[in-house]
Structure 1
Amino acid sequence: MFDTVMEYVEHYARCTPETVAVRDVDGTSITYGQLPAVVRGFQEGLLKAGVGRGDVVATLSPPSTVHWLAFLASVDLGAIWLGLNPRYRLEEWRGILAVARPKVLYARDAVGQRDYTHDIRHLLDEFGIARMPLDPEPVDGDVRRSSDPEEPGLLVFTSGSTGKPKGVLLRQSGLVACGRTQAHHYGGWGGTVLNSLPINHVGCIVDIGATALVTGSTQVFIEDFAPGSYTDALTETKASLLGGVPAMLLYLMEEPKFWSADLSQVQRILWSGGHMPRAGATLLAALGKPMHNFYGMTETTGSFMFTGPEADVDQLVDTVGLPDADWEVRIADPATAAEVEAGSAGEIQVRGPGVMHSYLGDPEATKDAFTTDGYFKTADLGIRNPDGSISLAGRLKDVFKSGGYNVFPRQVEEALEALPDIVMATVVATPDDTLGEVGVAFLILLPGSELDEEDVRTSLKTVLASYKVPKRFIRLEEPPLLANGKVDRRALTSIASQGQTP
């Protein structure tokens, strides 16, 4: 085991130099043997630009070899790497850069049909940023290591519950530790994995990237997830893993060619970052592959709870598995930090090797994120089951009161998804003059199904208290998604509050 990302690069450069480390879907590839010199070329450019320890290096790119090379070079110099999502708009980038204050920027002029020239010029001028070349010449020799593994190496912005960008600083030691942990729980990692997640997300950099790196695997970058082309890439690259956020896998299962594709090389199916509806998990189980559900968040760098390879559909849908042995996890009263009884809902609080360094420039928020005994407060609600596994019960901020009673949206969503023809449910709160707040359910149905609100309401009343039953049911063809592939609850809340029908 090593403490830094480049120690893993150098290890595989010696042991498996011919193995492809990274590849763009257009065929551009770099082997582990070539990788140290290519990274050194990036580092020389950064050093000439005056980048040193603690400086922020931004990259505006889809998933690609460029983003990965810039990441490796920056972290190894002791700089802090920041990924910018190319789907964002100028004002969104401005909000992030105003906090991050990067010294340099790697950027593509265009991605797909979108030209970024105008926006990039504004950002460079407004923030005094130097632009870096995307294809520096490789440089032989040792890499210029000057990083401290316990210092931040990655900056990821999360909007949390406020919508205001908040920069999460993650330690390099956490990146490699979480990569090793995830590889262990997947029952081993190897071969080829596709990476189509946005580069501003830990899913791209850690869940796939760091895990591939510490195991010497091949990453194939896909610039834009589309079910048809993704299926083609699965078969063409003989990818050994199939994974993503649940919404990605649900879209993939709607692609006809997916079910006729040769997936014999796929060893495991993985998902995280949201709830997989039972119907989706049942369909995936038909492929006959071991499936894994796991849980983590930006502030924990990677995942720390995992289902085992023997997990059945019920376990995969109803739980996020057991905590990893290197992590301390408790279910606590959010007000007192005292552990609650098994079977009761409380906040998931954790200590472990991936917990964040701090929130950038916000010591008060950093202090507030931890309990007095050093546990990170996830703001996620969990329930410990008799076998020790943990079930998610929603977010603290999502719980609402209807007529004075607490309503946990996740519980209502699970009841809805257990009904025939409902594939996926999302429940949000909307103001009500009489009850304070009431629930509104957004539903995705099986093709050809019709929504009968009274039938749904009647069925729910047999399993839920009346105050938990949503007052409105709205059919969606597809949910609005955030850039990381999760359902955009804020957008649905806005629709519900305005009485709109999407």
Structure 2
Amino acid sequence: MNHNLYAALRAAFPKDLNATAIETDDGLFYSWSDLERASAMMANLLDSLHIPKGSRVAVQVEKSVEAVMLYLATLRAGYVFLPLNTAYQSAEIEYFIGNAEPAVVVCSSKNFGWVSKIAFKAGTQNVFTLDDNRTGSLLERAAHWSDKHQVVQNKADDLAAILYTSGTTGRSKGAMLSHGNMLSNAQTLKKYWGWKPGDVLIHALPIFHVHGLFVAIHGALLNGSKMIWLSKFDPKLVIAKMPEATVFMGVPTLYVRMLAEPSLTKAQASNMRLFIAGSAPLLLETFNEWHERTGQTILERYGMSETVMLTSNPYAADARYPGQTERRGGTVGFPLPGVSLRVQDDQGHALPVGEIGGIQVKGPNVFGGYWRMPEKTKEEFTADGYFKTGDVGKVDERGYVVIVGRSKDLIISGGYNVYPAEIEGYINDMPGVAESALIGVPHPDFGEVGVAVVIAKPGAKVDADAVVAALKSQLANFKIPKKCFVVAELPRNTMGKVQKNLLREQYKGLF
């Protein structure tokens, strides 16, 4: 049996290959046959370069359907796809190319000058361009090749993609995902999220990340579902497209931006059956307001570059948790079928229900390790094969998983553990507060203390001293931030996650 992920996706294409697979926001229609033929031509081009099986293809391009075709071509030809965030600059690209040693680099035409210089210097022989307007040397060269291509035979544990994690501490690490990791996860989610014939996905996420590239695209392709393709997120356009679609996946900021649009109503969202949120924590206020406005309950889930998806709030009844069909705000639901999840303390002891500790996971979706980092890989797995996620959380009495933060965000103040998410929850409930971030900064007496950084809702005034005073009546003294700052915005990465490392750097000299 061929475990090549593309073979499984291709087998799920609908019988009518002339039907629309992807409809773009600039009025283009791509059929299933277009995906099959164009990915075959690109695969033949890659094969013509006579690069070894398992060679890396590094890709830093703007979002386009052609970029998806290149991803499919890389899979079907048995190479390893390496998506790179479009925000990365030269020092970062130099590191990734030096570390991954790709045989092929594909970049935007506007970056060709500096990217090609880095690539050639690192020994990469082949550099192509691909732009989001269907131009570039990759397409020009691929046009000369046959549109028939035999999908390469792969084993389940053959490498399919390397995803560089965002590297908030030290150098980014390349998480190695196999064909089996990604296919098992896509099949599990197809069932768990109730994908059905006729589903249509609105795709408004970037495609250099697990969420947009794997969860969304694999989901639609494995179900033979049409995608409504937006080159970038536009709240008005997403809302306008809802009557033609049934599924939407987004990061929390996208939901916040749609809630600011008067056109978001129950009637407008009535054809939709599923709204999924992930990649960053969803505020309870957003969860509740979305339900009030649309009558729909957002399904929050949890995953990471190293594991694809790990847990999910229920779409429907889950036999493992009788009677628990509720999608609960502030939780990321249950471990997915096939995923084993546990919470342990620093000494490696299992913690009882409701106790906060390090989340560890095991399952067919969990990556094989970090690219060329055997020591780091060994460090991140337990003796019995569980991956230490670096997330801190608990499992409540009903089996729902609650994430309280990253272990590196944990603040140890005067010997006491302070979990930022707990304090942020209290601050976010205060009048006028839109969002907050609690960070730990060095302190001569306590070792480390909390500092709250807060953004106000539009038109609201928030008093920093009043925030601290209000917390004093609610929380133990060691949890109270020593300072609070009200700012215009919080620094975020492209997936909407607050970059606490930048805040820590900014405020580290306070005391």
Partner in structure 2 of residue 481 of structure 1: 492
- Amino acid in the other structure paired with 1:10: R
**Contact 1:51/1:103 (CA < 8 Å) preserved in 2?**
yes
Q: 2:180 aligns with which of 167, 173, 176?
A: 173
Q: C-alpha displacement at 1:329, in angstroms?
A: 0.8
Match of 2:440 in 1: 429
Deviations 1:438-489 (A, max 9, x none): 1111223222221123332232223210110112222233321112321111
Q: Secondary structure at the match of 1:358?
A: coil
Q: Which residue identity is paired with 1:143?
A: Q
* Structure 1 segment 65-214 matched on structure 2, within 5 A: 65-109=65-109, 115-129=110-124, 130-132=126-128, 133-135=137-139, 136-137=142-143, 139-188=146-195, 191-214=199-222
Residues 337-376 of structure 1 mapped to structure 2, 5 A cutoff: 338-376=349-387
Determine the structure 2 residue equivalent to 1:284: 290
User: TM-score, normalised to structure 2's length?
Assistant: 0.89
Distance change in 2, residues 1:227/1:14 (3 Å)? closer
Alignment partners' CA distance in 1, 2:39 and 2:454: 47
Kept in 2, the 8 Å contact 1:66–1:134? The answer is no
Using a 3 Å threshold, how does the CA distance of structure 1 residues 331 and 220 change in structure 2: closer, same or farther?
A: same
Partner of 1:253: 259
Residues 440, 449 of structure 2: 8 Å contact kept: yes
Which one is further off, 222-231 or 480-489?
Answer: 222-231
State the Cα distance separating 1:360 from its structure 2 match: 0.5
* Counterpart in the other structure of 1:333: 345
**Superposition deviation, residue 325 in structure 1:** 2.2
CA distance in structure 1 between the partners assigned to 2:329 and 2:227 by the alignment: 28
| Contact kept in structure 2, 1:293 and 1:307, CA below 8 Å | yes
TM-score, normalised on structure 1?
Answer: 0.91
Distance in 2 (CA, whole Å) between partners of 1:487 and 1:38 is 38
Residue 319 (1) aligns with residue 315 (2): no
Matches of 1:151 and 1:230, distance apart in 2? 37
Q: 1:492 to 1:186 in 2, by over 3 A?
A: same
Assess if the C-alpha contact under 8 Å between 2:334 and 2:400 holds in 1: yes
Paired residue type of 2:154: S
Cα pair 1:319 1:389 within 8 Å, conserved: yes
* Conservation of the 8 A alpha-carbon contact between 2:3 and 2:153: no
Q: Equivalent of 1:270, from 267, 276, 281?
A: 276
Find the aligned partners of 2:421 and 2:388 in 1 and give their Cα distance.
19
Q: Which amino acid aligns with 2:46?
A: L
1:305 aligns with 2:311: yes
Distance across 2 between alignment mates of 1:313 and 1:81: 37
Deviation, 1:499, is 5.0
What are the Cα deviations for residues 215-262 of structure 1, in whole angstroms up to 9, with x where unaligned? 111234333334345445x35x82322321112222332344545993
One-letter code aligned to 1:451 = V
Are the structure 2 counterparts of residues 127 and 219 from structure 1 closer, same or farther at C-alpha, using a change threshold of 3 Å? farther
Deviation at 1:321, TM superposition (A): 0.8
- Alpha-carbon separation, structure 2, partners of 1:289 and 1:261: 11
Counterpart-to-counterpart distance in 2, 1:381 and 1:212: 31
Structure 1 equivalent of residue 31 of structure 2 = 31
Letter in 2 for 1:183: K
**Which residue number corresponds to residue 468 of structure 1?**
479
The Cα of 1:310 is off from its aligned counterpart by 7.1
Task: Tell me the secondary structure at the aligned position of residue 348 of structure 1.
Answer: strand
Moved more, 115-124 or 279-288: 115-124
CA distance in 2, matches of 1:314, 1:435: 42
| Pair 1:343–1:14, CA change in 2 (3 A) | closer
Flag the 1:372–1:9 CA change in 2: closer, same or farther, 3 A.
Answer: closer
1:295-315 CA distance string (max 9 Å, x none): 111110x21211124799996
Give the secondary structure class of the aligned counterpart of 2:452: strand
Offset at 1:76? 1.9
Runs of 5+ unmatched residues, structure 2: 129-136, 318-323
User: d(CA) in 1 for partners of 2:51 and 2:338?
Assistant: 34
- 239 and 368 in structure 1: CA distance in 2 versus 1, 3 angstrom threshold: same
Q: Deviations over 1:350-404 (max 9, x none)?
A: 1111100221111111111110000111011111111111111211111111122
- Identical-residue share of aligned pairs (%): 26
Decide whether the 8 Å contact of 1:53 with 1:147 is kept in 2.
no
User: Is the Cα contact below 8 Å between 2:159 and 2:177 reproduced in 1?
Assistant: yes
2:271 partner amino acid: Q
Aligned equivalents of 1:91, 1:20: Cα separation in 2: 40
Q: Give 1:492 deviation, angstroms.
A: 1.6
User: What is the deviation of 1:161?
Assistant: 4.0
Q: Is the 8 A contact 1:245 1:273 kept in 2?
A: yes
Q: Distance in 1 between matches of 2:405 and 2:467?
A: 22
What CA distance in whole angstroms lies between the structure 1 residues aligned with 2:269 and 2:173? 40
Counterparts of 2:432 and 2:30, CA distance in 1? 46
- Give the gaps of 5 or more residues in structure 1: 110-114
**What is the Cα deviation at residue 62 of structure 1?**
2.1
- Pairwise CA RMSD of aligned residues? 2.6
The answer on whether the counterparts of 1:304 and 1:327 sit within 8 Å (CA) in structure 2 is yes
